[in-house]
């Protein structure tokens, strides 16, 4: 519920821009599912979980930096 007003305020997205963004997010989620499915066949589950933890930690750090200075 917060994404649409924030994208309109900071990025100037309209209805079409938000729809495209949500569509691309859906494609990213589906691609991520297939990537994890493939990785779980190639690597051990521990390694897949460790990579996911690193990615989530990086996203959290990026989010803190962005929220600390949104300009």
Give pLDDT tens digits for 19-54.
999 999 999 999 999 999 999 999 999 999 999 999
Query: Dihedral, CA atoms, 53, 67, 8, 2, nearest 10 degrees?
Result: 60
Q: Please list, in sequence order, all residues whose beta carbon lies within 8 angstroms of the beta carbon of residue 40, skipping any fewer than 6 positions away.
A: 48
Q: What is the pLDDT of residue 71?
A: 67
User: Is residue 36 a contact partner of residue 48, using CB atoms and an 8 Å limit?
Assistant: yes
Give, in order, the Cα–Cα distances in Å from 58 to each of 13, 24, 71.
Answer: 26, 21, 20
Q: Is the pLDDT of residue 63 over 70?
A: yes
Q: What is the pLDDT of residue 70?
A: 63
User: Is residue 4 a contact partner of residue 17, using CB atoms and an 8 Å limit?
Assistant: no
Q: What is the pLDDT of residue 56?
A: 95
Q: Find the range with the poorest average confidence among 10-19, 23-32, 61-70.
A: 61-70
């Amino acid at each position: 519920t917060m994404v649409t007003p924030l994208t309109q305020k900071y990025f100037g997205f309209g209805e079409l821009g938000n729809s495209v963004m949500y569509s691309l997010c859906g494609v990213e989620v589906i691609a991520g599912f297939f990537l994890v499915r493939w990785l779980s066949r190639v690597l051990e589950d521990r390694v897949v979980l460790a990579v996911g933890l690193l990615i989530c930690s990086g996203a959290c750090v990026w989010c803190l930096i962005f929220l600390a200075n949104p300009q």
